[in-house]
Amino acid sequence: MKNVLFIAPTTYQLPLTDNLKKKFITLSEVCNVSVLAFANSKTFLNETYGNFYLNKKIKNRLLNYFRIIQISIFTTYKIIKKENIDIVCFQDPVSSFFSILFLKVRRAEVKIVVETHGDFIETLSLEKNLVLPMLYKKLFYIMAKYSIGKSNIIRAVSSSTEQQVLDIDSSKSVVRFPAWIDFKDFQNIEPKPLSKDKFNILFIGSVTDRKKPHMIIEAIQRINDKSYNLSIVGPAPNEKYFKELKDLIDKLGLQNQVSLIGPVDRESVKDYYSSSNLMILPSISEGLARVIFESQVAMCPVLVTDAPGMSDIVIDGQTGYVFESNNLDSLSLKIEYINNNYDEASLVAKNAKGFILSNYSEDNFKFSFKKLFDTV
């Protein structure tokens, strides 16, 4: 098997979660795994399914994003030599820029795979606490273009991220398959009996302006029905935006209808899916969000925007529901439609579960990577 180094500006929980272990155990069946990423403390893990070189995370997201560049320059080459690496697999084309540049300067004899998990140009430039976002957007484009151009092959997780790559370099070879998702925790969830007097809405994910949970709050205020409740679940990396959400809830007098939950463990996530009538993701930029898969497998109806990427798995009226991005009227009307036609929504949710389990699996993930590594 080939020796593969996976590099990501990602923070891993210590000890490694069962879900993450399962992902790399699956990958270890098709390659010898090494990982360079982050944790809350600097750690080296020598596991049966891979070696993990984890560096201490910096709290500031932007600084953390660029710290992986610094670490990659000084650490990547050392790991390549130590582990006799054949392929380096980068999680996105922006943070990989300096690493790839350095590898090319050193004429390292490795193949380069660049993955695209979301809108790699917009994601950071949309952060509200970023100064001069358009300047960063231009910089990210230049960095991404270089990384894509120097890669041997691109792996995209959705049709939108594939198209973004081809818009930059139409000559690139791109393979497409989704990110790792472990369905087993979610596919046997028994939906809890839902009250006819309450309509429970769930937002789950990173609480940022890019994902726009404030739109759901505004929609609840516009619908003006006390039976609608919203739980916002997930970490809030941007304190300024989180405060704006709190202020909005107070301003609209929705303290009894909207709850800011924060991050929760995997078991609690399952409880939220099973006790919710609807999961909404109003993102204006998304690759292929894991929470959509989870919701569909848990048979919790989903409502997402028409932003590129999500249409791969959410077909309006068949595997979920879609509203017009950034359109509060469209969102409000769709929420009311789903509530008023919940028997239909339940059938759509059941259909979505069958669609996901039929088309996405651990074996598909594993063999897609094997084919990718054999190709490169």
The predicted-structure confidence for 57-101, as pLDDT tens digits, reads as follows 776 666 666 666 677 677 899 999 999 999 999 998 988 898 999
Of 2-16, 108-122, 223-237, which gets the smallest average pLDDT? 108-122
Q: Are residues 122 and 233 in the same domain?
A: no
User: Residue 15 is part of which domain span?
Assistant: 3-181+361-375
CA distances from 102 to 34, 112, 228, 285, 361 (A): 19, 12, 54, 30, 36
Segment 297-323, tens digit of pLDDT:
999 999 999 987 788 889 999 999 999
* 161 plus 227 within the same structural domain: no
Residues 174 and 241 in one domain: no
Select from 187, 179, 153 the least CA-distant residue to 309: 179
Residue in the structure block whose two tokens are 């990384």: 147
Residue 302, token pair as written in the block: 């989903």
Residues 135, 214, single domain; the answer is no
125 pLDDT above the threshold of 60: no
Q: What is the pLDDT of residues 243-277, one digit of tens each?
A: 999 999 999 999 999 999 999 998 899 999 999 99
Q: Are residues 161 and 31 in the same domain?
A: yes
Which pLDDT score is estimated for 161? 87
- Quick one: 21 and 153 in the same domain? yes
Same domain, 330 and 237: yes
pLDDT given at position 130: 57
Question: What does the pLDDT read at residue 128?
Answer: 46
Q: What is the pLDDT of residue 73?
A: 73
Helix or strand holding residue 115 (H, E): strand 111-116
Q: What mean pLDDT value characterizes the chain?
A: 90
Phi then psi for residue 155, to 5 deg, are -115, 120
Q: Are residues 111 and 216 in the same domain?
A: no
Q: How many CA atoms lie within 13 A of 49 on its CB side?
A: 13
Residues 355 and 366 in one domain: no
Q: Looking at the structure, tell me whether residues 198 and 247 fall in a common domain.
A: yes
Token readout for 23 is 């992902």
d(CA 285, CA 252): 26
Q: Which two tokens stand for residue 19?
A: 């879900």
Find the angle CA(309)-CA(24)-CA(73) to the nearest 5 degrees.
80
> The domain spanning residue 255 has which CATH number?
3.40.50.2000
Structural domain total, the chain: 2
The reported pTM is: 0.82
Q: Are both 144 and 207 inside the same structural domain? A: no
Q: What is the per-residue pLDDT across 133-147, written as a single tens digit (0 to 9) for each? A: 677 788 889 999 999
* Same domain for 304 and 370: no
Residues in the chain: 376
Helix H or strand E encompassing 113: strand 111-116
In this prediction, residue 124 has a pLDDT band, given cuts at 50, 70 and 90, of low
**DSSP letters along 284-344, please?**
SS-S--HHHHHHHHTT--EEEE--TTGGGT--BTTTBEEE-TT-HHHHHHHHHHHHHTHHH
